[in-house]
Structure 1
Amino acid sequence: MTILRDFSQAAKKFGLALTLASSFAIAATSGAKAQDTPDLSGVTLTVGTPNKTGLHRQLIAAGEVDNLPYKINWADFDSTPPLVEALRAGHVDIAAGGDTGVLAAIANGVKVTIVAATWERKESGSAVLVRGDSDLKTVADLKGRKVALPYFTKQHYQFATALQQAGLPFDPKLILNLNTTDGLSALVNSQVDAFVVWDPNTAIAQQQHGARILQPLGRVIDTAGVVYVPTSSLEDPARKAALKDITARIVRAQAWVNAHPAEWAQQVSKLSKISLEAAHLQASRSRVEHAPATDPQALAGWQKQVTYFHEGGQFRKDFKVEDYVARDFGEVIEAENKKLAKTN
């Protein structure tokens, strides 16, 4: 009996020791997790948008800015080049839009990192516009004509490719570097014969000014758009965590836009102050999907652009685009895409 009693007491002590050890282990693990999770309450992210239907409106319309663990500001621009300049100056933390402006910035020494690729799965409103009464029928008919174009946008590269296919040179004396507002005004007032632009500007020009699409540029060449951040932001654990969080929200917001075109058009019209007809037209011809920045097809397209602009003397340096992508953000995008696939 004494032996059994001693054994029982020893077992109880051993069990208590195991319980205490287990408790200490759980506490240590919880403490480590707490240390690994940065406090985001002191982080403020400024989201840059280069058009009237980008991240700013998408995140709001999809309800992805509710109950954020960090603060958020908005910065809206006319196109990607001025947005990238704001990013260079430290006034923008994350943005999405055309790839050409970002690649041009990298070529000029701006420290930018691409965190995601965006693919347009429909025709979109990227186009060469002419007036409704214009006699122009093809891109080849633009020979000797004046064209308005915001330089170093995706449409710059697409239009240059369209000219190349038509056997025409890219002549800076005829192809004028105008922003979207001035470009539309120049077209309407017959100061130029064509205007190269994107939605919702294309839809507005069609619906409100009777413009006609001469050439849809998505049919000429398709390259992936980009989501990008200042490289320095990835060196701050808290800011990087916030950027990964909002990247996931960006993917979800775009999925919401894809699934709710009518409601999205209503929101665009309200938030961006454009006509409902133009908003519906824009929504009807766009469906964007996100992919990791390491997507081979995206990388190949971007690299081809770098070669084109460098050989043409418009990029100061040649570089490998894969050296400027954040590989670990791909895990965030793939995880969100898998979740979305299960719910669809």
Structure 2
Amino acid sequence: MFRVRRPALSAATAATLLLALTACGGSAGAKSSASSGSSDLSSVTLAVGDTGWARAQAVLKLAGLDKTPYKVKWSVFQGGDLQLQAVRAGALDVASSSEIPPVFAAADGNANFKVVAVQKGTTLQQEVVAPKGSKITSMAQLKGKKVGYVKNTTAEYFLYELLKQAGLKWSDIKAVPLLPDAGLAALNGGSIDALASYGNSIIAAHGQGATTIGSGADILSGNFNWEASDKTIASAAKRAALADLLARVNKGYAYIRNGHETDYAKVTATTTHQSVSEALSQYKAGEQQRPTTIGLTTKAAIVSEQQVADAFDALGALPKHLDVSTFWTDVLNSDLRKALAS
């Protein structure tokens, strides 16, 4: 999703993604942006991905910013990797992810998307955990053990880095790729010895007695990308709508920080099955570590993602060296700068 910091879909996978989507409520590589030339966005529809418990939608609704002059068709996924698969399949216009998924989505050299904005956020709740009653208390004890992880996400990246810090190689563990919910079930069922995951699955794991044996908090950069399809980027009207939507999300997070933390915690607690006090405590810790904000693409953010790609290259997970700048653009920067300032 980073210290810094797949492949083409089969027709069957693309069809599955299309069926799985649930709606709620220039050249693509150009390096400069143009205004939409019109303030009427009523004919624009953006198909936008959201992750987990639909956090972006919740933020907009809570802040009263969900009534847009364009249509937004939201779809919820378990991770940013699945969102980018949907973009590649033509099922989404816009995705949000950590730094890791676009690396794998672009690995075959046929990326049909660009990173258009960067959201800074907390890196807490990105952990390697052992189940209740386990005798495993450190990363070094994972040698020879079955470790679940969420493939092509921050979990794979920080697990790799934490193993290195413990003097272990990836080949020293029996790595088992699992989606977050399946990973949690496997951890509780005893079919894996530890789990590298994030967000709700880590919250739930702790609620069921799991203990932390490694954290990605200081490994990950806190950069979370917003990606748009090349087709979306090519439309001036869609760029204007997307810039407005991202500015609304940014303002929504500011609204929550400005005295509405408990309201947000109540929404969070309902979806994560925590107490409001637990959700509030986690929110405050995350915002203290790194306030959630959305900004422009920058050279520093590209360098950060290149470090991630280089790590996966060293791991042997990529078919060849990847220049991440090929799927970054500043095409949205002008529109987004204006929208953020309004």
TM-score by length of 1: 0.80
**1:136 corresponding residue in structure 2:** 136
Matched, 1:321 2:320: no
1: CA distance, partners of 2:272 / 2:202: 15
Deviation at 1:223, TM superposition (A): 4.9
2: CA distance, partners of 1:334 / 1:295: 16
Deviation at 1:49, TM superposition (A): 1.3
Larger Rg: 1
Q: How does 1:197-208 map to 2 (within 5 A)?
A: 197-207=197-207
Deviation at 1:72, TM superposition (A): 1.2
Matched, 1:219 2:218: yes
Tell me the alpha carbon deviations over residues 64-106 of structure 1, each in whole angstroms, 9 at most, x when there is no partner.
212x111111110111222111111222122222110122112
What residue ranges of structure 1 are gaps of 5+ in the alignment?
1-33, 340-344
Higher relative contact order (CA 8 A, sep 6+): 2
**1:37 corresponding residue in structure 2:** 38
Q: How does 1:15-26 map to 2 (within 5 A)?
A: none
Q: How does 1:68-79 map to 2 (within 5 A)?
A: 68-79=68-79
1: CA distance, partners of 2:36 / 2:105: 36
Give the secondary-structure state (helix, strand or coil) at the position aligned to 1:327: coil
**Between structures 1 and 2, the one with greater helix share:** 1
2:249 maps to amino acid: I
**1:299 corresponding residue in structure 2:** 302
Q: Percent of counterpart pairs with the same letter?
A: 23
Q: How does 1:174-253 map to 2 (within 5 A)?
A: 174-207=174-207, 209-253=208-252
Deviation at 1:335, TM superposition (A): 5.0
1: CA distance, partners of 2:340 / 2:42: 27
2: CA distance, partners of 1:52 / 1:172: 34
**2:254 corresponding residue in structure 1:** 255
**2:99 corresponding residue in structure 1:** 99
**2:311 corresponding residue in structure 1:** 308
Deviation at 1:45, TM superposition (A): 1.1
Deviation at 1:232, TM superposition (A): 1.7
TM-score by length of 2: 0.80
Contact 2:81 2:102 in 1 (8 A): yes
2:243 maps to amino acid: K
Contact 2:125 2:198 in 1 (8 A): yes
1:325 maps to amino acid: W
**2:87 corresponding residue in structure 1:** 87
Runs of 4 or more consecutive aligned structure 1 residues displaced over 6 Å after TM superposition: none
**1:160 corresponding residue in structure 2:** 160
Number of matched pairs: 301
2: CA distance, partners of 1:41 / 1:176: 46
Contact 1:144 1:174 in 2 (8 A): yes
Give the secondary-structure state (helix, strand or coil) at the position aligned to 2:171: coil
2:177 maps to amino acid: N
Deviation at 1:164, TM superposition (A): 1.2
Aligned-pair Cα RMSD in Å: 2.4
